[in-house]
Each structure stands twice: as structure tokens, then as C-alpha cells.
Structure 1
Amino acid sequence: MTGNKRPLGAQISHMLKARGVDVIFGIPGVHNIEMYRGIEEAGITHVLARHEQGAGFMADGYARASGKPGVAYVITGPGLCNAMTALGQAYSDSVPVLMISSCLDETAARRGQLHQMKDQRAAAETVCDWSEEARGPEAAYALIDRAFMEFATARPRPKHLQVPIALAGGQAVPPCESGPSATVPPARPKARDADMTALIDAVLAAEKPLFVFGGGARGGAAAVPALLQQTGAAAFTTYAGRGLVPADHPLSFGSYLARPDSAAIFAEADLLIAVGTELSEVDLWRDTPGQTCRTIRIDIDPEVLAQCGPGDMAIQGDAGALLRALSIAIPARVDDQPPKWDAAQVAETRARWRAETDAERPGIVPVCDALRAVIPPDTLIYSDMTQFAYVAKEVWDMDAPGLWHHPYGFGTLGYALPAAIGGALGRPGHPVVAIVGDYGFQYTLQELGVAVELGLPLVILIWDNAKLKEIEDAMVASQIAPNAVVAHNPDFGVLAEAYGARSEEPGTLSDLQAAVKAALAADGPTLIWMNQDLASR
């Protein structure tokens, strides 16, 4: 293509293809049609979302499933604004999404233009790692390369690039295909040798070390079992870190980190090692884990490491690489030095927490158990903000990390269905399940049409309690008379069939299992309706 001028929009599509982009999610409009000129020629598949929020969630789900950046095209003004919820979710959960939008050529001297905003770039920056406007072809190429380089080497977070309408349609020379992101990017930061030595010394000196593994530690999953065996440490995982610690490990406290009395477990530890996790509000639902010991934090993000207290240790580096190195470098405890943690106490504590979870939101745990028995272990699961997911995140053990995806930080409704569509495209051939609540499903239910068009065998599980039950419970707990928590629902089965999807309304847990098995083998999406009465039938 060298020397062949063509509109910049077409050049960008070819550049993205050269950097590994196979799928773009989005919606064309009069302002961004030049971005669509080169998509087919470049060999990229475009997925037409029904709403820009859905396009953003699809790009997010694709990125989480594939490990590659998700890319979306949207129009000026309302298109970008509609997608900002998805960008906010990707930011809070460290997901690499590149959103490319059109923008007006001039806004300061002209008013009343179609899709005009006072400052579109600045608006997007509030939910992105950065938001920039390309003023020329070389700037567009450089910003795309910057985005892909940062995705590969730093904490992945969404980026927004806007391209003026006239510039996108203007002639441009092709980008240099030997640029930095077209080659193998450099490795992520590596922990210093002195830090590794200090970490090993601290772990060996501890009698009751306690690990917390977050989503940022997924790259070291293979090393975790041996590391726990070698050190005699107990472990928690965050919700995003589920699957890092084998479910049957005798010293695993699971993902019950947010149980209030887990603070007492932290108080028992004489060393806390937090790996690839912020230990944020949505991980703990309290200010601190509860430890009184020294804390070692291992993370790629210096902002996370800045949270260390006096006497704590901060180690910057890729958490996965560090765990792999640590499992090799650290000597195992000898037989006459058994772990100080009591495996029987760990098992009793987990059983008690499971019972508490069941009592708080009755009827969900048995359904989780029934589903886990029939859903293949390599299934990608995307859940929404619904009580079913709140319970499942604690009681549903995962066989591997990076399989259950949830809107953890930003907490958006409507995430699961479009994200699952992206996930199905990101890992073709893998079973994919979306878990949604009756209310949240209606935020993005129109994306069901996309799943039908693509013939995706999605299993869509709707937990229907005919209300915003979590909010009602919170109101009651706060001694507020429940208000605005009941909404009229459609007949979800008829709605699904109107889109061309299959639907099932199982009456018992065994019926539910049969419906899920059939849905996994179907040639298109299946909506399966559930409620808490299932557990008693």
C-alpha cells in the first residue's frame, strides 16, 4: 500500500488490521461513514450493534475473552455519549477498548451543528485513560500506535480517539506498517531483583502468610498452586481473580473477601501479599481488609502501589511474571514446618459463609449448584448487576481464571448480553452464558437481534423477581418504605421468539439443566427464564 493515497478512514482500518484487529463493533452514521470505507477491504468483520452502549459492551466482552483490544466505531455527539457508560465500565475493570469516533471540524466559531457538543473530547476523557483528537493523518496513526503500545505494556484501560469529519474523508498516505505496534511490543515492567529477594525473605520469615489474588494476577495462574504449597500460605481471591486458586485447595478462603468477618482472618495473618488487586471498595465493602501485619503489594499500576502504608512494601511489575518467577525461586517449606493455618477451620469458615450467602438471598444457591453441574468448565460467563450474580460470585467456584466477567467497578446495568456477544466472537467455539436480571436485561435487550443475526448459541439466563429486589432490600434495611422498585415486565419468552431466538421456561431444577444442555447445542441464542421458586420445586 506504500505510496497509495486513499481516505484516512480507509487507512485506519488497514492499520488496525495490521495490528491484529479482526472485529469492529459499532454503528455507522453520516459523520463517521468514511471510517467504514475500508473495513471490508481490510478483511475486518463489522458487527452492527443496536445501540452504541451495546457496541461498547461488545468490545469490552470481546477484549476480556480474546485478550486482544476491543475496537468500536461510533458517531459524533450522541453516539459517543451513548457509549460512555461502556467506556466507564472498561476503565474500572482494566479492559483494553479503543473507541474511535468522528467529531466536528469546528465547534468554537459555529453553533447549531448536527450532533454538536461543547467539548466532546473532554467528555470522553472523564471515563477513559485518555481522549485525544487527531489533527492530521500522522497524528491518527501515532495515537493508534500509542493506544496499542499501552494496552500491551501498561495497565489496560480504554482510550478514545476522535477524527474530524473532513480529515477522515481526506486523502492520506498509508501508515508505516513497520511501526512499533506492528512488531512485537516490549515486555511489561519486571520487578527488580532486589524486590524479589526482599519478597522471598519476607514470605519465608512469615508463619501465617496470606495472599489475595486479583484479576491482574491471571498471567501467573499456573504458578499459584505450587506457590501456596511451597509457602503454606492461605489465600483469598477477589471476584475478578476467581479461578486462580484451585477450589479444592485446603487453605483457600475463596472469593468471600467481602464477608464482614473476613477481617478477623486478615487479623490472624503475619504477612499480607496483595497481587494484582486494588483491594477497592467493591472488593471489600469496608475501608481495609483488616490486617495488622505488614503488607506487600504487587501491581503494574503505580497508583495502586501508592496506597501502601508505613512499613509496607510496593513492588511494581507484571504480577503474572512475578508469580511464575517466585514459584521457581522460593524454597518449599520442609516437612517439619507444616502450615500454621488450620485447614479444618478454613473449611468450616467457608461453609458458614456459604450458608450466610444463601440465607441473605434465598433460592439462588441451589440454582447456582444445578447450573454449575451442567455448564462446561471452559464456559465464558458474563453476568449483570443482579442478585443472582451477587450470590454466584461468592459460591460458584471457577476452574480457571478469566472465565467469569462482571461489571465489577462501575456497576453498569445491561452489561451481560452485549458483552457475551463480544465474548462469543472473541473466543469462537467456546460455550458462552449471559446471566441477567429481569430489570437490567431491558437496558440492552435489543442486542438480542445481533445474537440472532450472527447465529450465536448464547445461553441467556434471566433471573426474574419482577422488581429491583436488591434496591427494595436496601430500602427496607434503611427503614425506607420501598418505592419505585416494581416495574411491569414483558413476557420474556415471547419477546425472545419475536427476535427469532428460542425460549424456555423450566419448572424444576432438572428442567433447567435440560434446557441449558439443549441451549448449548443450539444454532442460535436461547433465553431461559428462572425465578427463586425453582429451588423449591
Structure 2
Amino acid sequence: MQTAENQNPKNPSCARVLMHLLRQYDVDTVFGIPGVHTIELYRGLPGSGLTHITPRHEQGAAFMADGYARASGKPGVCFLITGPGVTNAATAMAQAYSDSIPMLVISAVNRREDQGMGRGHLHELPRQQDVSRAFCIWQHALTSAEQLPDALARAFQVMRAGRPGPVHIEIPIDLFPAPMPGQLEDYRATPTPSLPAPGGDAISTASKWLAAAKSPVILLGGGAQHCGEAATALADRLAAPVFESLAAKGIVDERHPLCGGANLSFACVRDRVESADVVIAVATELAETDRNLVRENYHFSGKLIRVDIDPAQLVCNARPDLAICADAEATLTALSAAVPDAGEPRRQSSAEEVESLLRACRSEWWPGSEGRFPWVQALRDALPTDGVLVTDSTQLAYNTNHALPLYQPRSHLTCTTGYGTLGFALPAAIGAALASPRPVVGLIGDGGIMFTLGELAAAVEQKLSLPILVWNNSGYGEIRDFMDEAAVEQEGVNLQAPDFVALARAFGAEGCRITQPEQLGKAIADAFTRKGPTLIEITAP
């Protein structure tokens, strides 16, 4: 319905300007659940050009925004109510913070005159910003409607110009209808900032070291998602093996003969990295989650060059011999232009070395993996070459991390890289499917999906052709194995699973149950033909 305000753009409300500016910043989708405190916020939504997706829980809203951001490279946006909306979304925001995912959270907060007074108003949360302070890269609470344009400008600058992460802007509920000066067209986005280029001296030093190196290695982290072509070009130029963190999986096409994939947890790869005479580590924390929970860091015997947009990360976990605080893509491109070509014989030798290392990795797989390998291969065969795999913390996903090759950046969205919460994959896959025309497959365990099962309803509403694989090992299988290994009596890990197929159909989705890897290809292919999600329950061997 057209309101008087929608018809007359002069002195538009704060909520209306917010929607207009979000479109100016190239936002097209927002995730949120309306509440009594955000009614006036939603008055600005009709006619704004924004698509609103309603999850079934605010945690799902933030996970969807996270998946949207990972798949698209643009900030994911969610609207939250005061109090429980913020606390419900906190876990998903913390996951995004841990993995450096750009997310803009717009929440309501109680009226300005009520804040800090403890009067017992609905959804009142004393010091609401304190809840998100630990996992936001920037926060702001509006004290006047006129602050909105500057607050949004700063939010997008910090998400785009440095190490990204969640940003939280609070808007008091009395400001949503507040009139803003001028007309809507007066409000424009601030241009995207240019990222810093590497200094000439740093490139000169790094190129000399790399040109003289006999056994260089390239390590890529999740912050290099935009660097696939540049990283591949430098690897070819140096004839250097490339290894990726779990967050970086797919940045370099894993079919490339110099790509060793996300196998940094295995001793054979670790030895190769530690023995390299020069290592160039790009946009990576060098953290234990990059090494799949191998706690001990590398002992670099050669020179370490670190490249990162965040100066703090340049000395985190390992001190470099050369630190380059600059955009990763610009740095890799400059190095490719500066180093001599290593030549085809050396490229062939390095390719043979990588092939040998990949064979050795499989021999290091932990017990039980061999029984899951046919499922990994079946999933690789079923996933289109441009497909996106969204994984949760579940046993089969730990194997796909290493053994399922991916071919494009932004094709591996996983919560196993940092904060490691359960329940990520279903809503994040929904967000990814809404963000990208590429086919998306979600993989989650029978325990993890119970955290966010209700989001199947949102996927049904959006008619997403989305296969969701549920690895059903009757509980928390990985923790069960750890208890056995530690000689701890199993407690709390053997769960009563529901009938997932019946549950899926109750939501209006399709469901099927398979027991053999040979059945997976058809199940996924059929799911891609449906206008709605398909839950594929896999009975774990």
C-alpha cells in the first residue's frame, strides 16, 4: 500500500532513507523477522527495491546473511528487533567475525529517553551494544536521525577497506519515523575506497627472495577470495606449490597441477611448508583452524613473507621476515610482474611433487575416513563444476575439506574454519542460493541440523532448488569418536533422531533417504530440478 510518505519523498523518514541508502550501497536482499519494535522500520521497505527474506529464527537471519556474503563477496544485511533479536543472532555474528565475513546488522533499541533507565520496557536489554562489542569490527548507536548517512558510510568503508567483519548499527525505535531533511535523491552512497597497493621496496625485496628460491611455497587464506587469477599466475611463474586454508579452498582451481588443496593438517604437507626456502603467506591467520586443529604452528626454516590488509595479522601466530600491508590481489599481481619465469621443467617437477604429496595425504587420513571416501567421490561427481558446497561441522564434511576438489573461489562455505558453531549450513546455504546463480549444496549432520531445522520453511517459501544432505550417524559422531579415543565413557552424544524425510515433507519440502554412494548423484540431480528444497538423508556407514 502506498502511504503519503511513499508518495512524497520530501522530508522522508529515517527508515525510508535507510532503505534508499542500502540500495545505493548495492544491497538487494535483507534478512529479518519483524517485531513490534521494528514496525516503523518496515514501513520504509515497500517500494525500496529491497527483497526481504523472513527466516524462522534470528540466528538463521544472521547465518543467511553470512552465506549470502560468502557467496557474493558483498555484505550480508539483517534486521533485528531489540533485545532477543540481538542475542539470538549473536552466535552467527560471532561466526562471521571469526571468519572475517562482512555483515551489516541493523537493530532496533529502546527509545532514547528509556535507555539505561531500567524501567522494564519490552525487549529492554541494558547496554545492548555490550552484547555485540566482542564480535563486531565497528558499532554505532544513533542519537539522531541525521547521523544515519554518516553511520552507513563508515559501516561500508570499514567492511570494504580493511579486514571485514560484522558491523552493528542500533537505531532507537523513536527514530525510525523521524523526518530527515531534503529529499530521498539527496542521499547517496560514499564511493568504495581504493585498497592500498604494496610499496615498491617491499615488492623489490620479495621478488629477489622469490627469484632466488629453489623450493618456494604459496599459502592462501580466506582473505584472498578475490585473488584466484593472481595467485594462479604467481604460482605458475614461480613453479611453486599452492596450499590453501579451509577458508581459501577453491581460490586456486584444485585441478591445477600446482594446487595442493586444503591439506595443511597433514604431516607431509607440513614438512614441505617448513622446509621451503621462501614461503609467501597471503591473507591467512596461520591459525590452528587453518591447519584443521593441529595446534602446533609451523617452524619455518626459510624466509616468511606475509601479505595482509590488516597490520595486526602480519605478526599473528608467526613473525615474518617481510611484512606487506596491502591488498592481496595487487601484491600478487606486482610480484608476478617482477619475478622471472621459473621455466617448464621446474613447473613439471613441482607438479609431480604436488601429486606425490596428495597421495601421501590420503595415507594420513584418520581412522574411518576410508569408509566415507566413496561418499566424497560421489558428491564430487554430483556437484556441478561451478557448484558451491556449504558445510557444517559433521564427519563427512571433515573429509570433503581435504578430499573433494573445488574449482572456483567462493565455492567452499564452511563453519569449521574458526568459531565452529553447529547449525550453520542450512541457513547459510539458503543465503548462498539467494546470492548466486551457481548451484548450491548444503551438507550438515543429524545433530547440527536440529539447531536450525526451522529454516527449511524459508527455503520452501523461496522455492529454492537446494539439496540439503544430512549425514545421519545417530548423534554427535565426531565427539563420540573423541570420547572413545580418550577413554571417556560416552555421554550426551547418542541422540534420538527424528524421521527427517517426514519432517521435510511436513515443511513442504521433498525428502528422501539413501544408503549407498551410488544413489547420491541421482538424488542431487533430481533436487536441482525441483522448485523447492530437498532434504537427502544419508545413513552413515
Contact map agreement 1:362 1:532 (CA 8 A) in 2: no
Cα distance in 1 for partners of 2:91, 2:158 equals: 22
126-135 or 318-327, larger mean C-alpha shift: 318-327
Task: Provide closer, same or farther for how the CA distance between residues 452 and 3 of structure 1 changes in structure 2, counting only shifts above 3 A.
Answer: closer
> What secondary structure does 2:135 align onto?
coil
Aligned position for 1:211: 218
Match of 1:522 in 2: 530
Report deviation, 1:88. 0.5
Q: Which of the numbers 312, 316, 328 marks the counterpart of 1:319? A: 328
After TM superposition, give the deviation of residue 25 of structure 1 in Å.
0.4
Say whether residues 1:24 and 2:30 are aligned partners: yes
For these two proteins, the number of residue pairs brought into alignment is: 530
What residue identity is the alignment partner of 1:375?
Answer: L
1:309–1:16 distance in 2 versus 1, CA, 3 Å: closer
Is 1:10 aligned with 2:16? yes
Partner of 2:426: 417
1:443 paired to 2:459: no
Q: Could you tell me how far apart the structure 2 residues matched to 1:308 and 1:380 are?
A: 30
Deviation, structure 1 residue 308:
7.5
Residue 63 of structure 1 deviates from its aligned partner by: 1.1
- The offset of 1:7, in angstroms, is 2.5
1:472 maps to which residue?
480
Q: 230, 234, 241: which is aligned to 1:227?
A: 234
Work out whether 1:291 is the aligned partner of 2:300. yes
Letter in 1 for 2:65: A
What's the counterpart of residue 201 of structure 1? 208
Counterparts of residues 110-509 of structure 1 (less than 5 Å):
110-173=118-181, 182-284=189-291, 285-307=294-316, 312-334=321-343, 338=346, 343-357=351-365, 359-407=367-415, 408-427=417-436, 429-509=437-517
1:10/1:39 contact within 8 Å kept: yes
Cα distance change of structure 1 residues 184 and 36 upon mapping to structure 2, 3 Å threshold: same
2:102 to 96, 100, 106: 96
Q: Structure 2 vs 1, CA of residues 295 and 308 (structure 1 numbering), >3 Å: closer, same or farther?
A: farther
Note closer, same or farther for the CA distance 1:3–1:348 as it changes in structure 2 (3 Å cut): closer
Is 1:71 the equivalent of 2:77?
Answer: yes
Q: Which runs of 5+ in 2 are unaligned?
A: 1-5
Amino acid corresponding to residue 263 of structure 1 in structure 2: R
Conserved 8 A contact 1:132-1:162: yes
Q: 1:34 aligned to 32, 35, 40, which one?
A: 40
Determine helix, strand or coil for the equivalent of 2:78.
strand
Cα distance, 1:119–1:260 mapped onto 2, change above 3 Å: farther
* Unpaired runs of at least 5, structure 1: none
- Large movers: runs of 4+ above 6 Å: none
Please tell me whether the aligned partners of residues 251 and 341 of structure 1 are also in contact (alpha carbons under 8 angstroms).
Answer: no
Alpha-carbon separation, structure 2, partners of 1:178 and 1:340: 59
Describe the superposition over 1:290-343 as per-residue Cα deviations: whole angstroms up to 9, x where unpaired.
3222211001011101338666110011112221232233220256x8369665
Work out the CA distance in 1 between the residues paired with 2:130 and 2:259: 44
Q: Closer, same or farther in 2 for the Cα pair 1:176/1:307, shift >3 Å?
A: farther
RMSD: 2.1
Q: Distance in 2 between matches of 1:309 and 1:424?
A: 37
**Contact 2:311-2:325 within 8 A present in 1 as well:** yes
User: Which deviates further from its counterpart, 109-118 or 276-285?
Assistant: 109-118
Residue 221 of structure 1 aligns with an amino acid whose one-letter code is G
TM-score, normalised with respect to structure 2: 0.93
Alpha carbons of structure 1 residues 177 and 271: separation in structure 2 relative to 1, 3 Å: farther
Provide the secondary structure at the position in 2 that maps to 1:167.
coil
- The one-letter amino acid paired with 2:164 is P
Residues in 2 aligned to 1:82 and 1:308: alpha-carbon distance in whole angstroms: 32
Contact 1:240 1:402 in 2 (8 A): no
Measured at CA, do residues 339 and 527 of structure 1 come closer, stay the same or move farther in structure 2, by a change above 3 Å?
closer
Using the TM superposition, give the Cα deviation of residue 59 of structure 1 relative to its aligned residue in structure 2, in angstroms.
Answer: 0.7
Q: Percent identity over the alignment?
A: 38
Once residues 283 and 309 of structure 1 are traced to their aligned partners in structure 2, the CA distance between those partners, rounded to angstroms, is 13
User: TM-score w.r.t. structure 1 length?
Assistant: 0.94
The structural deviation recorded for 1:529 is 0.9
